Amino acid sequence: MVPLENYLALSAVMFSLGVYGVLARRNAVLILMSVELMLNAVNLNFVAFAAYLDPGQIVGAIFAVFIITVAAAEVGLALAIVIRLFRNRATANVDEAATMKW
């Protein structure tokens, strides 16, 4: 069995890459991808802790499925906003959206 520390290290790397992507990128689609990477890191933590602490229970997997559901709804709404921004401004740059003048 793979030790829990390996999963936690992988999750920390994934979450750190996601935070870097959110802070460094200007494109809205890339920011959404970085947020999804951070949510997947959290899912990995939930499943790893659930498998490590009590292998018979599926509580961690239930939380992971709930997060995946919320992430799917978030991506659907955010992509609709990005498409609307692109149609109005002809760019997906989040700096352009910050002015809020149409």
Domains of the chain: 4-97 (1.10.287.3510)
Residues 29-38 pLDDT 10s: 899 999 999 9
Q: Which tokens belong to 37? A: 């990477």
Separation between Cα atoms, residue 43 and residue 65, nearest integer Å? 8
Q: What is the tens place of the pLDDT at every residue in 10-44?
A: 999 999 999 999 999 888 889 999 999 999 999 99
Alpha carbon distance 32, 52 (integer Å): 30
Q: Which residues pair with 27 in a beta bridge?
A: 93
Q: Model confidence over 48-89: pLDDT tens digits?
A: 999 898 888 888 889 899 999 999 999 999 889 888 888 887
Tokens 């992430």 locate to 71
Contact 44, 55 (CB under 8 A): no
